[in-house]
Amino acid sequence: MARTRWAEAPHAVRRAVEVALGAEVIEAVSQAGGFSSGSADRLLLADGRRVFAKAADRSRNVGTYELHRREAAVVPDLPVSVSAPRLVGTIEQDGWVVVALEDIDGRQPGADDTTLVLDALGTLPRIETLSQLPRLSVELKPDAASWDRLTASGAVRDLGPWIGAHSSRLRDVSTQLPRVAEGEHLVHLDCRADNLLVDERSRVWLVDWPWASVGAPWLDSVTYLLDVLVRTPDADVESHLEHPSLRAVPAEAVDAVLAGLAGSWIEKIQEAAPEDMPTLRDFQRREADAALLWLRRRWA
């Protein structure tokens, strides 16, 4: 799927961004990855500044359009201690939304960076004041019932012998997901390598914040380990549960996250992918396979 390039956005929209940023864009380098055909560009401005801009056309990318708007609302309210690119500007014009953020010069974390990432995730702060962010326990409540719906629809019968043999346990464990997700900490809720950057000083930055919520302080670490398993199926992610940020997490809480998310992803891949995100179902299938792989190892 080809991304829209900066030059393909309407001239009026690009000009509005330049006015908002106070400088002309003299170079735009499109970034690969992601699920949407919306643009993602590192922009060099005439005054030497660099920003990262994400743009979406509502008529083509309604899901991405709303996610960008949500992120633009979330980022300004993130605590100053959080390593996140700050919002530089937002434009909504002619059915387009453009979100401009600080450009972070960094690389995606690799296999040797797992402890570094867990250290960083362990610093996400407690939300001390009234927050407009959603409660994680509420956000994950639908996921907790996925295995019930898959069983009721008969879909679970076609998901393989291991799932058939463990369907009752998967259902029971998943129901605990909202309870174990309760907490008072900032949660990114989309912790994958492609949403993280490691700069030259080994500082870990979290990008893409539309799913931010308030909940259990350890959940991002578990979902990041799941992403490690997606990328490296033979990785010993279990050993990382001894990290200080995870050591006290009950085994049943980890199981609830893995089972609940696996059920949610399996339920989603029964349906066609959104037209503006054609690769989304493949991603969800890989995530579900990794979550079930980890559970098989844990329950062996």
Summarize pLDDT for 181-221 with one digit per residue, the tens.
Answer: 999 999 999 999 999 999 999 999 999 999 999 999 999 99
Res 130: pLDDT: 67
pLDDT, tens digit, 9 for 90 and up, residues 134-150: 999 999 999 999 999 99
Res 65: pLDDT: 93
Res 1: pLDDT: 52
Identify the sign of the CA torsion 214, 189, 298, 237: negative
pLDDT, tens digit, 9 for 90 and up, residues 226-272: 999 999 999 999 999 999 999 999 999 999 999 999 999 999 998 88
pLDDT at 178 over 90: yes
Confidence (pTM): 0.94
Place of tokens 């996250």: 257
Res 34: pLDDT: 67
**Fold for domain 6-102?**
Phosphorylase Kinase; domain 1 (3.30.200)
Res 274: pLDDT: 81
Which has more confidence, 89 or 35? 89
111-298 CATH: 3.90.1200.10
Q: Measuring CA to CA, how many Å separate 202 from each of 78, 125, 205, 210? A: 21, 20, 9, 24
Mean pLDDT computed over 282-297: 96
Same fold for the pair 6-102 and 111-298: no
* 117, amino acid identity: V
The rounded percent of the chain whose pLDDT value lies above 70 is 98
Interatomic CA distance for residues 270 and 287, integer angstroms:
14
What are the boundaries of each domain within the chain?
6-102, 111-298
Mean pLDDT computed over 24-43: 85
